Amino acid sequence: MRMELQTWPKVEAYLARSKGILVPIGATEQHGPDGLIGTDHLCPQAIARRLGERDGILVAPTIQVGMSQFHLDFPGSLALRPSTLMALVVDYVASFARTGFERIYFVNGHGGNVAPVRAAFQEYYAGLSLAGSDGDVRVRCKLKSWWELPQVDARRRALYASAEGFHATPSEIAITMAAEPGAIAEFTREPPPSRGTNDPLEHAGDNYFEAADFRRRFPDGRVISDSARATRAAGEELVALAVDDLAADYGRFLAFA
Ligand code: NI
Q: Say how many Å lie between the CA of residue 128 and the centre of ligand 1.
A: 33
Q: Say how many Å lie between the CA of residue 13 and the centre of ligand 1.
A: 36
Q: Say how many Å lie between the CA of residue 223 and the centre of ligand 1.
A: 10
Non-local (6+) Cβ contacts of 223 within 8 A are 165, 166, 167, 168, 193, 196, 203
pTM of the model: 0.95
Give residue 201's identity as a one-letter amino acid code. Answer: L
CA atoms of 69 and 207, how far apart (whole Å): 11
Q: Say how many Å lie between the CA of residue 4 and the centre of ligand 1.
A: 25
Q: Say how many Å lie between the CA of residue 51 and the centre of ligand 1.
A: 21
Note down pLDDT in tens along the chain; length 257 residues: 999 999 999 999 999 999 999 999 999 999 999 999 999 999 999 999 999 999 999 999 999 999 999 999 999 999 999 999 999 999 999 999 999 999 999 999 999 999 999 999 999 999 999 998 776 678 999 999 999 999 999 999 999 998 898 999 999 999 999 999 999 988 876 766 655 555 555 666 677 899 999 999 899 999 889 999 999 999 999 999 999 999 999 999 999 87
Report the pLDDT value the prediction gives residue 162, as an integer from 0 to 100.
87
Q: Say how many Å lie between the CA of residue 109 and the centre of ligand 1.
A: 7
The enclosing domain of 168 has a CATH number of 3.40.50.10310
Instruction: Supply the DSSP symbol for 221.
Output: S
Q: DSSP 3-state helix, strand, coil percentages of the chain (rounded to 5)?
A: 55, 10, 35
Q: Say how many Å lie between the CA of residue 99 and the centre of ligand 1.
A: 32
Report the pLDDT value the prediction gives residue 248, as an integer from 0 to 100.
98
CA atoms of 193 and 28, how far apart (whole Å): 22
Report the pLDDT value the prediction gives residue 203, as an integer from 0 to 100.
64
Domain total for the chain? Answer: 1
Residue-wise pLDDT tens digits, 180-237: 999 998 887 676 665 555 555 566 667 789 999 999 989 999 988 999 999 999 999 9
Q: Structural domain of residue 95, as residue ranges?
A: 3-254
Q: Say how many Å lie between the CA of residue 209 and the centre of ligand 1.
A: 17
What single string gives the DSSP state of each residue in 151-178?
A: HHHHHHHHHHGGGG-SBS-HHHHHHHHH
Q: Say how many Å lie between the CA of residue 120 and the centre of ligand 1.
A: 21
CA atoms of 68 and 63, how far apart (whole Å): 13
> Cβ distance 111 to 98 under 8 Å?
no
